[in-house]
Structure 1
Amino acid sequence: MNASDPLDELTDEQRAVVEQPADAQVLVTAGPGAGKTHTLIRRLDFLVSEEEVGPGEILVLTFSRAAVRELRARTITHGGSARHVRAQTFDSWALDLLMKVDAGGGWEERSFDARIEGARRAIEDGLAEEELGGDLVHVVIDEVQDLVGPRREMVEVLLDEFDPGFTVVGDPAQSIYGFTVPDVEQRAQETGRFFTWVRRTFGEDLIELRLTSNFRACTAESGLALPHGPELRRDAESGRVAGPGIHEELRGSLRTTLSLDMDEFGFLSLGSHEGTTAVLCRTNGQALLLSGSLWQGGVHHRLQRSARDRGAPAWLAFLFRKVDGSILTRSRFEEVVSAYGLPVDEVEPLWLGLRRSARDGARNVDMGRLRTAMALGRLADELTAQPPASLVVSSFHRAKGLEFDRVVVVDPGSLPVGEQKSEKGGRKKRERHVDVAEEARLLYVAMTRPRQELLHMDPPEQYFVRSAPGLDRWGRYSFRRWARLGLELHAGDVCTEFPAGTHGFTEDPQKVQEYLATGVRQGDEVRLERLLPDSDEPGRSPHYVVVHQERPIGMLSDRLRSDLYHFMKLGPSYEPRNWPCLLSGVRIDSVEASAGSEAAGLRAGLGSRGVWLTPRLTGLSTFEYDPKPEEENHDDST
């Protein structure tokens, strides 16, 4: 090899992975910071350039959209011959397959798990043979330790039925998604199950390799957790039921680092750091509380979204307004994004993202298909990334796969030993099941995110803040059983069916759009003001308007109004009647493009495509109520 050969950049361990033949069946165990993404990109380049495998004959699957975006961005920049290989999440690939073999099955409206199970059945029943059979030469799968339940079953069927070459990469020590399996006993069996299956199924043909170097941790402090990796890996692969010992050892190491408090000094430290910083919390509830404290301290930051939370960037609304025809060419796209002000180096990946979103394989972009993809939440992953931020607040789970210069880990506390019970009113109450081994792996993941500095922080006071039953939200409660004091806001909580100014309040919709584009910024505070004291629809709260600096910019969605109704409903026969007049403590997460009624958009002078700007909200709100007469007491007998 000559000096400029990209393979010269590899370690011997990485080179052993990269240079396997296309028909090889390879299992790679790669610890945190082991250069896994770099190795996979070189592996793909080797398959295309040296093994002469066509980009369309390679299937690349990974667990998270963040990983997909990173793989795509880095293959475009550094991938050489692999730049045309497409990476997808399991969910996205399953939907693509189902739309080809059963287009009328209504799969776009079904749940993620339903799509995964549908794809598995399609493969088992032979329906995918025509789509995949002769064209599937090699499969690359990342983060296989996170394959549990239906996704694991789908991948096993895929590899078993088509018998391709494959390169599957994972780390049992970072297996943290067992909680997604509802059955507790089955959950314990899922950890390491894919590793067992692939070894048993492919036997002597399986090539097992390891990436043991760490290129992330640049200091002894940032590498504190790494020595615990081998034990976590052995426990996960063996299925051994671990005690709290290793979790406490990890906590002990964490507590030796510098402590950061949420005070004036802590705010200054977090807000002035020159590199990237993450504050990582065990739960999303803790992340919401710390985010609120940071905003009160004047520290600008970003709250990390769920991996499944997809938002359309604001420039798409500009694009739909400026493109009159049904087809978008590359040259016209460059003109529009240049007028919008997007950086030149973003043009290529965004153009490829638009073409993937339209899903017709054409060189140009069908604007009708693009709008459909946007309305259904099927935009390509590289179009939906959160904007970068120097300070991020996240749960442990949502930080998986990310890395930062400095990481502040919120101490998760000690784990319960054995079965915990509490006495109340003469009755025994069982505590929730705690998977001790998974909690240790989760803390290990959090502690292996930093490149330079690792710090710790005591958890925020979380009295009466807990997950709201039946809702995908956190809520504020009280020692009074009937009291409701706040609810989490997130994606989908602002009405997108009608443009702001045409529904709920009357303003010039074009001026509202201009204000959203130029006057509303991430982190700005908003108030949610009740329009009428009572609801005019069963099963929903009254209407609330989103107010930014005394200007209305949107209405709460029917989904949030339904969730608020159920949050306030104390029992089967109880109907909420005292609605909060104001929800405060809510922030702008971003301003995004949304697809709604085409007729409403046309009437509002916003074009015929039905695409406009909508604010996305975030934060754990605080309810404010109308003052009530002193003699009026709440009936606590419901």
Structure 2
Amino acid sequence: MSDAYSGTPALTAEQRAVVEQPADALTLVTAQAGAGKTHTLVRRLDRLVAEEDVSAGEILVLTFSRAAVRELKNRLSRYGEAARNVRAQTFDSWALGLLRQVDAQGGWLDKSFDARIEGAQEAIEKGLADELYEDDLRHVVIDEVQDLVGARRDLVETLLERYDCGFTVVGDPAQSIYGFTVENPDEREGETNRFFDWLRITFGEELTELSLTENFRARTRDAQVACHFGPRLRTLAESGDANGEAHYNELRHVLADVTDFGDFDAFAADALTGYAGTTAILCRYNGQALVVSERLHALGVPHRLQRSAQDRVAPAWLGLLMARCDASSLSRKSFDELISDLPLPDGSETDSLWRLLQRTGSGRGSDRFLDLARLRSALATGRLPDELTAQPPARLVVSSFHRAKGLEFDRVLVVDPGPLRVADSSKRKKVDQNPAEEARLLYVAMTRPRDELYRISELETRTIRTDDGTGRWGRYHFQYWRRDGLELKGGDVLTEYPAGTVDFDAVAADVQHYLGTAVRPGDEVKLERLHPEPVGMLESPPYLIRHDGRPIGTASEKFRSDLFKFLKQSPKFVPRSFPALISGVHVDAVETVAGNEAAGIRAGLNPLGVWLAPRLVGLSTFTWDKKEPDVQAQ
């Protein structure tokens, strides 16, 4: 392994102890922020395959985000020798794949993330997955296990208890920040550190506990200001979360002492665009991230909003590739020729992309052909490998604290989350904030930088809050009946039919060419109301999506339904006026989608039913007709 790892840091004694555990060892690793965890896991996997005689197919690697999957696979590709073909997956991708094998008719793609996790746990518990794992699973690697709560914790506990295999699980109680996903407040508090306790009780003296304590991420004193909170927060989590408020306030005090980045103005724009490294602006809530993104767009600063871990976006190059195919299969030689001028992510390797497409089950008899019908099925059913659906890297990322988990950047700007709140500004609804979890969350945000940490003053977002009916962020007004804007996100563009065939007439092939060549992430679009009257009950009228004045799509039924709900101010109120224009929306990505195959043929596109569509993002602003919007009857 020495040649592959030349130029990489030598293993510390702590890391080597993890790497050299035997394949059947039951190992719990507590790794603090920036402790070289990914580097250690890559070396661990490589040794399992090279020296412990474990095949890549006998190892299950699970993590929480596609970004983490991409990073792990990139490291394995660059540095792994024997473990180069080990597959890492997100929990959702793995659970869906398992369920499709043991219950192909269960309609799992249409069910929620939690339902799939619960279904996978039940399948393992009932022995339905024994054929997959009983004899062919020798080692399980799980990252970020401090965030195993609720259904995901039940799933992993069932997996590790049922199958006789070794495991390496890595986590840090000081970074446990997903307790809020457990709906029952009484159960939520007990989830912190629960998985660690379960491991110790279940496996007793067989469990080997190791630690990674040296920080390799933070390279400057500025970046290290919050690192010393790790052991304290870890002890806090293990002792039942007492005194969380004091720790949170102390962390905020430390944040207050770091350099203030200033306002979002021309000087900030120059500082953000002129920096050669990677930067993240981290916000407590995604609503704040949407506001920051809006201000950056106003300054002309290119950036990317971090998506939710559950968002799966097929890249545009895949649709462009399939559009060029005129046969039912694709040879490796043709693949190399067709992909040569496509907009691939930076650093992409043709061999790696081919192997990822092969992994969808699209290989036809050998590794020299792809069955395009099977590839289309994988796209339609959400079975593309996680590495293909991960967001590409960006120099400037805007994210919530939660979505930045596991990521690192050269420079981080943390938006002051403000004091702990008991109730919101309207005094109508309690705000459920666990002080200890808030302290851990702020610690996570402040330990993301390698070199520089800055503070951004608390944002004014009193008019921005989530809408209970849709779960989207919305703009409100002091006049309770008034609505000024609504969040746009994935699923808001009609994808079942190609653009140009519904709500507006255009040559579909021309729209596809425009999407593939002229539309870029970050571009502004506007949603223009087609006519004042809805076409169905409980929804808004249709909206055209215009890019530089040209229609490139139409709003989905989901968006029209949610817009209706957002404007419906009470059970008896029926909206009759809808915004004439919805602006402040941007292109998140141009994505590949699978829709109605017959519609694609009628539109003159390829017979696979695959085409491009814009994916939208942003906290929009409504422009109404000259008359005032509906006023709630008194």
Q: Give the TM-score range, shorter chain.
A: over 0.9
1:442 and 1:493 map into 2 onto residues whose CA distance is: 30
**Secondary structure in 1 matching 2:224:** coil
- 2:586 maps to 587
1:68-147 aligned within 5 A: 68-147=69-148
Q: What is the match of residue 555 of structure 1?
A: 554
Matched, 1:636 2:626: no
Structure 1 residue matching 2:223: 3-state secondary structure: coil
- 1:496-507 paired onto structure 2 within 5 Å: 496-507=495-506
Q: How does 1:520-531 map to 2 (within 5 A)?
A: 520-531=519-530
Match of 2:460 in 1: 461
Unaligned runs of 5+ in 1: none
Q: Which moved more, 1:120-129 or 1:443-452?
A: 120-129
Q: Write out per-residue CA displacement over residues 287-320 of structure 1, whole angstroms, 9 at most, x where no aligned residue.
A: 1111111111121111111111111111111111
User: Structure 2 residue aligned with 1:355, among 342, 349, 358?
Assistant: 358
What is the DSSP-based 3-state SS (H/G/I as helix, E as strand, rest coil) of the residue aligned with 2:70? helix
Tell me which residue corresponds to 1:282: 284
Q: Give the aligned partner of residue 271 of structure 1.
A: 273
Query: Contact (CA 8 Å) 2:528, 2:543: kept in 1 or not?
Result: yes
The Cα shift of 1:431 comes to 2.0
Q: Greater shift after overlay, 528-537 or 507-516?
A: 507-516
RMSD: 1.9
Residue 296 of structure 2 is matched in structure 1 by: 294
Q: Is the 8 A contact 1:522 1:589 kept in 2?
A: yes
Contact 1:286/1:459 (<8 A) preserved:
no
Separation in 1 of the partners of 2:2 and 2:74? 26
Q: Determine the structure 2 residue equivalent to 1:25.
A: 26
Query: Please, which moves more after superposition, 444-453 or 156-165?
Result: 156-165
Asked if the contact 2:578–2:629 (Cα under 8 Å) also holds between the matched residues in 1, the reply is: no
8 Å contact from structure 2 (residues 60, 139) kept in 1: yes
Whole-Å Cα distance in 2 between the matches of residues 3 and 525 of structure 1? 47
Equivalences for residues 159-558 of structure 1 within 5 A:
159-260=160-261, 261-340=263-342, 342=344, 345-358=348-361, 363=367, 364-416=369-421, 429-558=428-557
Distance (Å, rounded) in 1 between the aligned partners of 2:2 and 2:449: 35
By how many angstroms is 1:635 displaced? 4.2
Residue 156 (structure 2) aligns with: 155
Q: Deviations over 1:522-547 (max 9, x none)?
A: 21111110011111200110000011
| 1:53-64 correspondence to structure 2 within 5 Å | 53-64=54-65
- The 10-residue stretch of structure 1 (269-278 or 145-154) with the greater mean CA deviation from structure 2: 269-278
Identity %: 58
* Segment drifting more, 556-565 vs 314-323: 314-323
8 Å CA contact retained: 1:588, 1:615: yes
CA distance 1:430–1:593, shift in 2 (3 Å): closer
* Per-residue CA distance 1:178-232 (angstroms, 9 max, x = gap): 1100011100000100000001111111110000111110001001110000010
Q: 2:139, 2:167 within 8 Å by CA — same for their partners in 1?
A: yes
Residue 531 of structure 1 contacts residue 542 of structure 1 at CA under 8 Å; is this kept in 2? yes
Whole-Å Cα distance in 1 between the matches of residues 256 and 527 of structure 2?
40
1:371-420 Cα shifts (integer Å, max 9, x gaps): 1121223211111122322111111011111111100000001113xx65
How many Å separate the matches in 1 of 2:598 and 2:9? 58
Deviation at 1:345, TM superposition (A): 4.4
CA distance in 2, matches of 1:523, 1:348: 29
1:499, 1:285 → 2: CA distance? 31
Q: Could you tell me how far apart the structure 1 residues matched to 2:423 and 2:577 are?
A: 37
In the aligned structure 1, how far is the partner of 2:505 from the partner of 2:127? 55
Contact 1:500 1:512 in 2 (8 A): yes
Distance 2:523 2:343 in 1: 22
* Cα distance in 2 between the residues matched to 1:296 and 1:458: 19
Cα deviation for residue 421 of structure 1 reads 8.9
Q: How many corresponding residue pairs?
A: 629
Give the superposition deviation at 1:636.
3.1
Distance 2:445 2:374 in 1: 40
Unaligned runs of 5+ in 2: none
| CA distances 1:145-202 after superposition (whole Å, capped 9, x unpaired) | 0100011011111111113111100011111111100011100000100000001111
Residue type at the aligned position of 1:144: V
1:430 Cα deviation after fit: 4.9
2:618 aligns to what?
A: 619
Question: Which residue identity lines up with residue 513 of structure 2 in the other structure?
Answer: E
Quote how far apart the aligned CAs of 1:239 are: 2.1
Equivalent-residue separation in structure 2 for 1:322 and 1:634 (angstroms): 49
TM-score (norm 1): 0.95
SS of 1:537's equivalent? coil
| Matched-pair contact (CA < 8 Å) for 2:414–2:454 | yes
